[in-house]
């Protein structure tokens, strides 16, 4: 089901192949309190032994990845979420990135001008960065032949209600592709092709979507940020301060995890550290993620 011959994690879902291109891996300490999931204290995490060692290390630090997921369906190649990007002023990071992301995509076998579509699960800065790249002082579309699919509700929300940081993110990562005529504003249940469609998972942001893949009786879903970390399967009420509506986000997690557990879905976590994927199972009052056995 998965392979890592050339250093890239890949998963086969019927006729569809998904490849992870990692931009960054990071750990978040829980001591005294982590800023990303404040309820995830060492004591809270240790109640869920299955999180160790893949998703929480022995120092009780949460492991995260920032990655783009390339989805190859018959006749169509898509990128789901485009990470942070190079050369971008991001107050939240305090530093500009200069990673080898573009070379890594090529090395994984994907020429930028062969990408047919870009999907952003939502419009936070760590999901839109490589929509554009800096060329001779200008932000230009990284994937010049792609249609960029943004949720209409999501786009309208940030256009109307974004703060000064959001406006900076939009100016360098959203507006240049709009101005290049490459954007389609789509509904939250938009169907991209026979194998790939969007499903609404609102809460983290108003128009947040996940990406459903179905082919030859196999199913997988790319979460986006409806969950940032597998600990939110054990504790669906653990919110992040970046959730637009924390109660809606928790409610989405409960109902959606319930459904995905029933449907034997392969869950591909956008911010989940390797092994990144697993089947979701009931555990006590909530859920757990079982990574595939290698």
# binding residues, Zn ion (CB under 5 A): 2
21 or 73, CB closer to Zn ion?
21
Binds Zn ion (CB under 5 A): choice among 23, 126, 154, 243: 126
73 or 83, CB closer to Zn ion?
83
Which part of the chain contacts Zn ion (CB under 5 A), choosing from 13-21, 40-48, 192-200, 217-225? 217-225
Which part of the chain contacts Zn ion (CB under 5 A), choosing from 155-163, 189-197, 219-227, 232-240? 219-227
For residue 28, give Cα distances in angstroms to 60, 64, 112, 263.
9, 8, 32, 32
Least Å from the CB of residue 265 to Zn ion: 20
Distance CA 276, CA 292 (A): 10
Least Å from the CB of residue 125 to Zn ion: 8
For residue 178, give Cα distances in angstroms to 62, 122, 152, 195, 267.
36, 16, 13, 26, 31
Least Å from the CB of residue 48 to Zn ion: 22
Distance CA 70, CA 94 (A): 28
DSSP 122: S
Least Å from the CB of residue 136 to Zn ion: 29
Least Å from the CB of residue 126 to Zn ion: 4
Which of 84, 271, 77, 256 lies closest to 172, judged by CA?
A: 84
DSSP 143: S
Binds Zn ion (CB under 5 A): choice among 23, 72, 195, 225: 225
Window 9 to 48, contacts with Zn ion (CB under 5 A): none
124 or 147, CB closer to Zn ion?
124
Q: Following DSSP, what letter does each residue of 92-141 receive, concatenated?
A: TTSS----SHHHHHHHTT--GGG--EEE-SS-SGGGTGGGEEEETTEEEE
Task: Tell me which residue has tokens 């940030």.
Answer: 158
172 or 225, CB closer to Zn ion?
225
126 or 243, CB closer to Zn ion?
126
Distance CA 141, CA 290 (A): 37
Residue 243 as a binder of Zn ion (CB under 5 A): the answer is: no
Residue numbers at the binding site for Zn ion (CB under 5 A): 126, 225
């Amino acid at each position: 089901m998965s392979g890592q011959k050339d250093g890239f994690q890949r998963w086969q879902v019927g006729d569809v192949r998904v490849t992870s291109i990692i931009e960054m891996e990071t750990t978040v300490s829980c001591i005294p309190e982590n800023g990303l999931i404040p309820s995830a204290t060492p004591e809270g995490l240790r109640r869920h032994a299955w999180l160790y060692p893949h998703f929480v290390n022995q120092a009780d630090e949460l492991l995260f990845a920032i990655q783009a997921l390339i989805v190859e369906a018959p006749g169509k190649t898509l990128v789901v979420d485009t990470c942070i990007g190079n050369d971008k002023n991001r107050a939240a990071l305090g530093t500009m990135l200069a990673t080898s992301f573009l070379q890594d995509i090529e090395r994984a076998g994907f020429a930028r001008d062969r990408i047919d579509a870009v999907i952003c699960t939502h419009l936070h800065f760590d999901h839109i960065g490589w929509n554009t790249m800096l060329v001779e002082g200008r932000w230009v579309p990284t994937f010049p032949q792609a249609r960029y699919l943004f949720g209409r509700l999501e786009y309208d929300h940030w256009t109307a209600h974004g703060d000064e940081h959001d406006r900076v993110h939009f100016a360098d990562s959203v507006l240049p592709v709009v101005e290049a005529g490459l954007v389609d504003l789509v509904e939250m249940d938009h169907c991209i092709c026979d194998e790939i469609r969007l499903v609404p998972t609102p809460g983290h942001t108003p128009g947040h979507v996940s990406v459903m893949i179905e082919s030859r009786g196999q199913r997988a879903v790319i979460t986006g940020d409806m969950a940032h970390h597998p600990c939110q399967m054990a504790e669906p009420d653990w919110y992040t301060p970046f959730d637009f509506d924390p109660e809606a986000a928790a409610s989405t997690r409960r109902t959606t995890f319930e459904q995905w557990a029933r449907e034997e879905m392969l869950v591909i976590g956008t911010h989940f550290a390797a092994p990144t994927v697993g089947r979701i199972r009931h555990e006590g009052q909530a859920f757990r993620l079982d990574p595939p056995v290698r």
